[in-house]
């Protein structure tokens, strides 16, 4: 009996609607790997070769001139001696009296230590120390000084010499033009010790002066009316002199984009052109989140360009995404060694590919007749001017250590009182430490309180008339003022003083400095967001191994508007 | 010889006994008067601040102090014992603040009462601390660690119980590279160009921007101003040690000199000298990294270049010559590669890609016979098997 045999055919189906399996990029046999490459177009031939060698001609010119301030005179710039930050930002801080108490004490003790190390006798040292003792504070000073400084003075006064005064005595005794210091007669150094003491003093003065970098007291780059730095640099490139101006530099990190070109300007820069030709291997330019061009390659998950949301009208975003995704892998970099503080102008760039075909790559400006702007070039001040064709490498400190703010002043608008305020939050105390101004005012007010004079506080629930309210003494008003031609500027004022309290002007150097203090402001410099200006010490090393310490200002965005509660002619209800 | 010597010593011994094995504290500064180490007479400054030295034992000053004890303390109670220990401390504070002898002498009765209250408070605090120490003694010893570690922990806990957390006990250690360290610190002056001062300038600059260094600087400034007995003695070492090297904190000697490269620079206030065999102890105040920038920096020029998208194949092709043929020919090799590529394309073929050919291929036919006359594959069972 025959039986029935049926046949079943198995049909494998490898296609699916879901992309999940496909995106897993699984790996199978070698033929399958090749098949996948073929599918992804990795075997398609193109009429192109990979670049293998690039020859680059570049001409560099050093920055040789600097002009500090908007009208500053041109002077020589030595990029190898100090970073540009120091040249631009450094303030004159120590003045003729030798700086803060702490600096003077340190200097005094330093001299004694040096003398002791040279085996100068105790008697001679005592005589020198006695020539300029640090005196205890007078009654007036006692009222004005903060507690930290008083504590410092209580220990130091009478015990240590005032190094600033000692240095001043030496300078006074030294005839003008002499490089070697003379010992002042009031030191009463015995004849036998004079030579060694003079040597020590010379070393000491040198160390004292080189401790900090100081700018000139007048003509600094800081514009007090704008709370910004302004300076210019110049170098002589192939197309003539190039003057770069940093107009609205806020302090802090300087980089090439802080500079604009000043066409037609001249600071008389010297010729330092150095053309040279480099040969190197071009490397593909990469950026974070760059799509990998191959299927089996891991991408950086930190940046996901695919998740950038862009509306159809967000052209810049769409352009960015398209560039990154579609054309990002067509860019190459050739390394260029440039001296810090120079501008480099690329003469020509020739690239040879794997087939030996040479291509000359033109500058961006040459590819388009109408090119007037480029993202990666210093902006030209003149409309329609050519795109600058060089690379500027500013000689700036790469890494600095900054101290806590010595001064912290906020500029805020107070629309209700129709004034702007400069609020001194932190100022430098007489002993050179950051001093919280509000706390200091409170401490001193408590010390000054005298119930006998001030009378008892008003009984609760009683109405009393006040001519004006009293914002804290560290709030300094800037009053609007009309100028000719019509504009508004903010001029520093002062508030009527509370009875009994001594008048307090600005305590910060930022406002109160005789040469560079802010006495008026352009109205637009205090925007609604406010402005915060901080002075701090900065420390860095430079290419010659030298160490630089200087005081710099920095402007940042503030924290919005403020209200002082300033009112006139009002009635107050005493609190319960 | 001091008049109260012996009595005071007894009290100090009491305090010393609290911490066995502790270094010998100089507690004479706390003594009310008279008592001082016999080898040293009081300085003129101290004499001025102390009650009259000529005050005989049992004189007015002494009577007043005795009175204070008698007033408040039962002589044999534990509080009195501690109170007696507290007294020099307390009296020491009085002396510090009102350094005019007249003021001490003019202590009125209510002042004394106030002082006694304070002394009691101090006594209570000391008792609490003593209790805490005794508590520690009774606590079961921790297990599972080495004996020396346990002993150290116990002593540290005792010291903390008595003096509070502010008193830091520093561990003593022997560095593995003691020999290097010693020779590196030995070269301190030669590192600085045979001068002792560059490190001071370095320190003063750092103190301006680093808070911790500033605090250390302030301590030295105070110490220097007040005592002149602890001169700051900063020494420099640079590791790895190389003889005749120059300290990297100093300016380079010439404009074209290259910096040495990464170095560890140690600046230490040393008491005594660093010896290769000595044990060390100390505090790390601050650390930071300084970078000397290069004169020339590497930047770059970017250019656009349309490179081909072709990539190297991801498989190795092992080609074997055709049998009987000794040498390769170029054509044969090219054919092999092309064959491989063709095969790769075929590898991607599935049923849908076959179109009409799909009627026959893939020829995966399986027989099924109910009676078992032929080899049968039951796909029902395969499909029923849970995956």
pLDDT in tens, A186-237: 888 888 888 888 989 998 998 888 889 888 877 788 988 899 999 999 988 7
CA distance A32 to chain B (A): 6
A104: left (phi over 0), alpha (psi -120 to 50) or beta: alpha
Q: Give the least confident one: A16-20, A94-98, B186-190.
A: A94-98
Q: Cα separation of B53 and B60, whole Å?
A: 12
Distance CA A406, CA A553 (A): 10
Classified as helix, coil or strand, B88 is helix
Q: What would the two tokens of residue A94 be?
A: 């120590």
The answer to whether the Cβ–Cβ distance between A333 and B301 falls below 8 Å is: yes
The reported pLDDT for the residue numbered A382 is 57
Residue A20 has pLDDT above 70, yes or no: yes
The two three-digit tokens of residue B246, written as one number: 């120059």
Is the per-residue pLDDT at B31 higher than 50?
A: no
Contacting residues of B for A294, CB less than 8 Å apart: 311
Helix axes B198-209, A194-210, angle to 10 degrees: 30
**CB of A487 less than 8 A from some CB of B:** no
- What is the sign, positive or negative, of the torsion defined by CA atoms of A35, A37, A39, A44? negative
Residues of B in contact with A58 (CB under 8 A): 301
- How far is the alpha carbon of B194 from chain A, nearest alpha carbon, in Å? 14
The 10s digit of each residue's pLDDT in A29-50 is 999 899 988 988 888 888 888 8
| DSSP secondary structure letters along A475-508 | EEEEEEEEETTTEEEEEE--PPPPTTSPP----S
Contact present, A33 and B314 (Cβ < 8 Å): yes
Percent of chain B with pLDDT over 90: 8
**Residue B57: which pLDDT band, with cuts at 50, 70 and 90?**
very low
DSSP string, B298-367: EEEEEEE---------SS-----PPTT--S--HHHHHHHHHHHHHHHHHHT--GGGGGGGGGT-S--EEE
Share of residues in chain A with pLDDT > 90 (%): 16
pLDDT per position as a tens digit, A137-178: 787 777 778 888 888 888 888 888 999 999 989 988 888 888
Residue A38 phi/psi, 5-degree rounding, is -65, -40
Q: How far is A569 from chain B (nearest CA, A)?
A: 47
Within A271-369, residue ranges assigned H as helices are: 315-322, 364-367
Among the partner-chain residues B201, B291, B315, the one whose CB lies closest to the CB of A33 is: B315
| Residues of A (395-434) whose Cβ lies below 8 Å from B | 397-399, 401-404
**Nearest alpha carbon to residue A507 among A404, A437, A567:** A437
Q: Give the pLDDT band (50/70/90) at residue A266.
A: confident
Among the listed ranges A100-104, A179-183, B107-111, B135-139, which one has the minimum average pLDDT value? Answer: B107-111
Identify which of A549, A553, A551 has the alpha carbon closest to the alpha carbon of residue A208: A549
CB atoms under 10 Å from CB of A438, counted, come to 15
Q: Which of A5, A37, A51 sits opposite B367 (nearest CB)?
A: A5
Reported as a pLDDT band with limits 50, 70 and 90, residue B12 is low
Q: How many CB pairs under 8 A join A and B?
A: 256
Q: Which of B209, B222, B310 sits opposite A539 (nearest CB)?
A: B209
pLDDT tens digits for range A396-450: 988 899 999 999 999 999 888 888 889 999 999 888 888 998 888 888 878 777 7
A-chain residues near B365 (CB < 8 A): 7-9
Instruction: Provide ipTM, 2 decimals.
Output: 0.84
Residue holding tokens 């040969």?
Answer: A279
B296, A338: Cβ pair inside 8 Å? yes
- Chain A residues lying within 8 Å of B343, measured CB to CB: 31
Average pLDDT over residues A370-380: 74
pLDDT at A289: 80
The mean predicted confidence, pLDDT, of chain A is 85
CA A229 – CA A227 distance, rounded (Å) = 7
Average pLDDT over residues B367-382: 78
Mean pLDDT to the nearest integer, B75-103: 48
A274-310 pLDDT per residue, tens: 888 989 999 998 888 888 878 788 887 788 877 888 8
Q: What is the pLDDT of residue A444?
A: 80
The model's pLDDT over B225-264, given as tens digits with 9 standing for 90+, comes to 887 666 778 889 998 888 888 888 888 888 778 887 888 9
With vertex at residue A368, the alpha carbon angle to CA A364 and CA A371, rounded to the nearest 5 degrees, is: 80
- Each residue's pLDDT tens digit, A99-146: 888 899 989 988 988 888 888 888 888 888 888 888 887 877 777 788
Residues of B with CB below 8 A from A102's CB? 221
Q: Which two tokens stand for residue A571?
A: 């009635």
Count of C-beta atoms within a 10 Å radius of residue A222: 27
User: Would the CB atoms of B309 and A351 count as touching at under 8 Å?
Assistant: no
Model confidence at B56, pLDDT cuts 50, 70, 90, reads very low
Residue A522: pLDDT above 70? yes
Q: How far is A435 from chain B (nearest CA, A)?
A: 14
Select from A1, A2, A4, A8 the residue whose CB has the most chain B CBs within 10 Å, as the one to mutate to test that interface: A8
Decide if A5 touches B, using CB distance below 8 A.
yes
pLDDT of A228 reads: 92
- B225 vs A105: CB contact, 8 Å cut-off? yes
Q: Which residues contact B364 (CB under 8 A, 6 or more apart)?
A: A9, A10, A11, A12
- Cα separation, A166 vs A115, in Å, equals 14
Arithmetic mean of pLDDT over chain B? 73
Query: What is the pLDDT, as a whole number, of residue B2?
Result: 40
B231, B304, B373 ranked by CB distance to A3: nearest: B373
Does residue B54 have a pLDDT over 70?
no
* Highest mean pLDDT pick, A341-350, B114-123, B345-354: A341-350
d(CA A84, CA B189): 32
Yes or no: say if A416 and A86 are a contact pair by the CB < 8 Å rule. no
- The more confident residue out of A311 and B145 is A311
Query: How distant is the Cα of B363 from the closest Cα of chain A, in angstroms?
Result: 7
Inter-chain touch B294–A543, beta carbons under 8 Å: yes
The stretch A499-528 carries a mean pLDDT of 80
Q: How far apart are CA A186 and CA B301, in angstroms?
A: 65
Q: What is the mean pLDDT of residues B190-206?
A: 88
pLDDT at A13: 78
Residue B212: how many other CB atoms lie within 10 Å: 14
Give me the pLDDT at residue A271, please. Answer: 81
DSSP code at position B30: G
Establish if A17 touches chain B: CB-CB under 8 angstroms: no
Element holding B229 (H helix, E strand): none
Structure tokens at A169: 């005595």
Say if residue A80's pLDDT is above 50: yes
Residue B205 pLDDT grade (very low, low, confident, very high; cuts 50, 70, 90) = very high
For residue B362, say if its preceding peptide bond is cis, omega within 30 degrees of 0: yes
- pLDDT bin (cut points 50, 70, 90) of residue A572 is confident
What pLDDT is attached to residue B385? 62
pLDDT band at A351 (very low <50, low <70, confident <90, very high): very high
**Which residues in chain A have Cβ-Cβ distances shorter than 8 Å to B301?**
56, 58, 333-334, 336, 346, 349, 391
Chain A partners of B338 at a C-beta cutoff of 8 Å?
none
pLDDT recorded at residue A231: 92
Q: Are the beta carbons of B366 and A8 separated by less than 8 Å? A: yes
Per the CB < 8 A criterion, the answer to whether A72 and A63 are in contact is no
Chain B interface includes A126 (CB < 8 A): no
Of B211, B231, B374, the CB nearest to A113: B231
Pair B37, B6: CB distance under 8 Å: no
Contact B305 A156 (CB under 8 A): no
CB contact under 8 A, A34 and B315: yes
Distance, CA of A519 to CA of A491 (rounded, Å): 6
């Amino acid at each position: 009996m025959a039986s029935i045999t049926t046949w079943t055919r198995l049909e494998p189906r490898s296609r699916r609607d879901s992309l999940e399996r496909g995106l897993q990029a699984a790996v199978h046999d070698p033929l399958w790997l090749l098949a996948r490459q073929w599918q992804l177009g990795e075997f398609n031939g193109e009429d192109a070769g990979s670049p293998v060698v690039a020859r680059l001609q570049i001409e560099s010119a050093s920055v040789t001139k600097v002009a500090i301030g908007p009208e500053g005179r041109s002077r020589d710039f030595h990029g190898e001696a100090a970073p540009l930050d120091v040249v631009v930002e450094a303030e004159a801080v120590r003045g003729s009296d030798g700086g803060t108490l702490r600096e003077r004490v340190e200097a005094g003790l330093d001299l004694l230590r040096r003398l002791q190390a040279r085996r100068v006798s105790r008697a001679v040292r005592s005589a020198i120390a006695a020539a300029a003792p640090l005196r205890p504070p007078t009654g007036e000073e006692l009222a004005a000084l903060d507690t930290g400084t008083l504590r410092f003075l209580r220990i130091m006064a009478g015990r240590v010499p005032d190094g600033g005064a000692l240095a001043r005595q030496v300078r006074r005794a030294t005839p003008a033009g002499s490089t070697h210091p003379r010992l002042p007669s009031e030191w009463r150094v015995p004849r036998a010790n004079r030579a060694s003491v003079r040597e020590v003093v010379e070393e000491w003065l040198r160390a004292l002066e080189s401790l900090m970098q100081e700018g000139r007291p007048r003509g600094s780059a800081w514009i007090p009316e704008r709370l910004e730095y302004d300076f210019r640099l110049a170098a002589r490139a192939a197309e003539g002199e190039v003057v770069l101006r940093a107009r609205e530099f806020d302090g802090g990190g300087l980089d090439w984009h802080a500079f604009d070109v000043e066409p037609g300007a001249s600071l008389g820069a010297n010729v330092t052109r150095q053309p040279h030709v480099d040969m190197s291997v071009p490397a593909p330019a990469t950026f974070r989140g760059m799509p990998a061009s191959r299927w089996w390659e891991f991408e950086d998950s930190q940046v996901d360009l695919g998740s950038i949301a862009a509306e159809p009208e967000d052209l810049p975003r769409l352009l960015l995404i398209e560039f990154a995704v579609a054309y990002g892998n067509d860019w190459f970099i050739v390394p260029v060694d440039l001296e810090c503080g120079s501008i480099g102008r690329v003469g020509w760039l020739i690239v040879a590919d794997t087939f030996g075909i040479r291509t000359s790559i033109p500058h961006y400006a040459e590819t388009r007749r109408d090119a007037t702007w480029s993202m990666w070039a210093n902006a030209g001040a003149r409309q329609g001017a050519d795109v600058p064709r060089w690379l500027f490498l500013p000689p700036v400190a790469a890494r600095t250590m900054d101290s806590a703010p010595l001064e912290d002043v906020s500029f805020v608008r107070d629309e209700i009182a129709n004034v702007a305020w400069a609020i001194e939050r932190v100022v430098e105390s007489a002993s050179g430490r950051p001093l919280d101004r509000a706390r200091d005012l409170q401490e001193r007010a408590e010390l000054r309180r005298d119930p006998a004079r001030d009378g008892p506080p008003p009984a609760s629930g009683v109405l009393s008339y006040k001519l004006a309210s009293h914002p804290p003494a560290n709030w300094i008003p800037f009053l609007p003022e009309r100028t000719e031609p019509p504009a508004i500027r903010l001029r520093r004022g002062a508030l009527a003083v509370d009875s009994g309290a001594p008048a307090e002007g600005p305590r910060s150097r930022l406002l109160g400095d005789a040469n560079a203090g802010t006495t008026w402001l352009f109205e637009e410099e205090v925007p609604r967001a406010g402005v915060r200006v901080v002075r701090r010490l900065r420390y860095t090393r430079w290419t010659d191994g030298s160490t630089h310490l200087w005081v710099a200002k920095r402007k940042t965005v503030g924290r919005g508007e403020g209200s002082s509660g300033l009112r006139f002619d009002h009635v107050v209800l005493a609190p319960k | 010889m001091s008049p109260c010597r012996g009595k005071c010593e007894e009290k100090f011994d009491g305090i010393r006994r609290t911490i066995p094995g502790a270094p010998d504290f100089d507690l004479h500064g706390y003594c009310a008067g008279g008592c001082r180490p016999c080898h040293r007479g009081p300085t003129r400054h101290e004499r001025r601040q102390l009650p009259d030295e000529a005050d005989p034992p049992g004189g007015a000053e002494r009577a007043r102090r005795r009175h204070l004890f008698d007033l408040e303390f039962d002589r044999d109670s534990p509080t009195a014992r501690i109170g007696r220990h507290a007294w020099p401390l307390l009296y020491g504070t009085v002396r510090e603040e009102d350094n005019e002898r007249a003021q001490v002498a003019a202590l009125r009765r209510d002042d004394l009462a106030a002082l006694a209250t304070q002394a009691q408070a101090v006594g209570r605090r000391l008792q609490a601390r003593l209790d805490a120490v005794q508590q520690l003694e009774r606590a079961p010893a921790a297990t599972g660690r080495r004996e020396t570690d346990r002993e150290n922990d116990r002593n540290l806990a005792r010291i903390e119980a008595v003096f509070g957390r502010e008193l830091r006990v520093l561990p003593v250690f022997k560095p593995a590279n003691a020999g290097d360290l010693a020779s590196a610190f030995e070269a301190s002056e030669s590192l600085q160009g045979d001068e002792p001062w560059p490190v001071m300038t370095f320190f003063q600059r750092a103190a301006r921007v680093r808070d911790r260094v500033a605090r250390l600087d302030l301590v030295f400034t105070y110490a220097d101003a007040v005592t002149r007995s602890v001169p700051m003695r900063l020494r420099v070492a640079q590791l790895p040690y190389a003889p005749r090297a120059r300290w990297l904190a100093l300016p380079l000697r010439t404009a074209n000199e290259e910096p040495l490269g990464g170095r560890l620079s140690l600046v230490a206030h040393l008491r005594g000298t660093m010896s290769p065999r000595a044990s060390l102890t100390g505090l790390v105040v601050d650390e930071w990294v300084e970078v000397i920038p290069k004169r020339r920096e590497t930047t770059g020029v970017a250019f656009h270049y349309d490179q081909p998208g072709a990539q190297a194949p991801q498989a190795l092709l092992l080609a074997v010559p055709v049998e009987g043929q000794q040498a390769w020919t170029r054509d044969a090799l090219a054919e092999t590669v092309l064959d491989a590529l063709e095969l790769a394309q075929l590898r991607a073929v599935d049923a849908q890609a076959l179109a009409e050919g799909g009627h026959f291929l893939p020829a995966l036919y399986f027989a099924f016979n109910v009676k078992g006359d032929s080899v049968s594959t039951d796909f029902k069972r395969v499909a029923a098997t849970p995956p």
